[in-house]
Structure formats: C-alpha cells, structure tokens
Amino acid sequence: MQVITESLPARTPVANPLLELRRYGQSIWLDYIRRHLITSGELARLVEEDGLCGVTSNPSIFEKAVTGSTDYDDILSTAARRGERDPLLVYELLAVRDIQGAAEVFRPLYEQLRRRDGYVSLEVSPLVAHDTQSTLEQARRLWREVGRDNVFIKVPGTKEGVPAIRQLISEGININITLLFAREMYEQVAEAYLAGLEQFAARGGDVARVASVASFFVSRIDTAVDALLTEKLRAAGGED
C-alpha cells in the first residue's frame, strides 16, 4: 500500500519580544524571586529561552514568597528547632540561600557577557535606609554571606545612603542604588559611585570588577501621574 503524505507549509516562527529587546541593547530583569523558581528549573528556562538577564529582590518580594508558599518550611522549621527568634537573621538565612541559588543560574551568562549582565540583587533592610553606619554593616555582611561576585547589594538612594554607597564601592562591593525618584539624587549617587571607584583604584583595585546600577523608580511616578490624569479627566467630563 502506498501512503501519500503532504507536508504542511512551514510556520513562521513567532518572535519572542523579550529576545527582540536584546537587539536594542535592553536587558530584561525579573523583579521577583522564590525558592521554587530556582529549584524547578524555571529560572534557568527564562534565562535560556527568554533572554532574562538578572533578578532583583526586596523584603516585600520575599514576604510574599514565604507567606504564599511552602518553599521555606524547611529553613523555618530548622530555625524554630534551634530556638532562633531573631526575625532578621531568619530572613537573611532564607534570602541568602535563594540569592546564592539564583546567582549560580546566572553565572554562565555573567561570564559569557564578561560581567555586563547576569546579576542578582539583595537589599539591605529598609529600616536602615536613614542610618549610614547600619547600612554599611548590613551591606558588608550580606556581601560576605552570599559570597558570589555576580550579586548586587541594594542600597537606598537616600541622603544617608550616599556616603555608604561611596564607601562600599571603594571596598569593591557591587551596589544597586534603589529608590531613586529625583534627578538631583541620581547626580549625587553617580558622584558617590565615581568617588568610590577612584578610592578603589588608588588602592590598586581593578575597577572593571566593580559593578553598579542606578534603579530609577519610574513605576512610582507612573502611579502618581495616573491618579492626576484620572482627576483631570473627571474634571473635564464634569465641565462638559
């Protein structure tokens, strides 16, 4: 019996918009993390198939991950058995573990792109945003505990955060300056970054190995503007 088959016309592959952005020099980061994302292989898939270039985290993201899943029951149970009652210490234990795991997923990309991408961010406590010394202590401790060079320590771009940024950069610690809302503060943290690099270089450090980004919070501005636009539209409608 002869079987006749007809080949279907080849489908035109649908372009992945995330990968398309890479053509324009844009790096896509995920503002989210949880244990299952790492252990399930989903994070690795996002890196490989969607061109994900980094991950950022903050205490609020971890709060949702802990309260909304069972991913952290093991580490919470261990802390309870040991009688650990310091919530900050418990938080840092689970956060550091996730950041380390995510950093390992991104390491091949980090090395392939020669340190231009492939970073994971971990934030100091918001409770120390206006305390320079406490910011320094927490940032140093987190950097040391994570122990990965493709990690950013997030420091708020507050008045008290500026000297901390300069000092941490001078020590060779990668910094993600967060909570920037004004051009004036951006200029201050940029100057602090450059001053820190100069100090690091003066001590013989390789400035090519110190990374930093400035995170300008456009979403917060969008939220504020949306509310203003809504009011203006209502007012315009009322006048009509």
Residues tagged active-site: 154
C-alpha span between 102 and 140 (Å, rounded): 20
Going by their DSSP bridges, the two strands 212-216 and 175-180 should be labelled as parallel
C-alpha span between 239 and 201 (Å, rounded): 62
Query: Do 131 and 152 touch, CB atoms closer than 8 A?
Result: no
Cross-strand partners of 151: 120
Q: Which of 64, 60, 89 is nearest to 76 (CA)?
A: 89
Q: How far is CA 44 from the centre of its chain?
A: 16
C-alpha span between 175 and 9 (Å, rounded): 51
Sign (positive or negative) of CA dihedral 179, 60, 152, 18 = negative
* DSSP secondary structure, 180-231, as one string: E--HHHHHHHHHHHHHHHHHHHHTT--GGG--EEEEE-HHHHHHHHHHHHHH
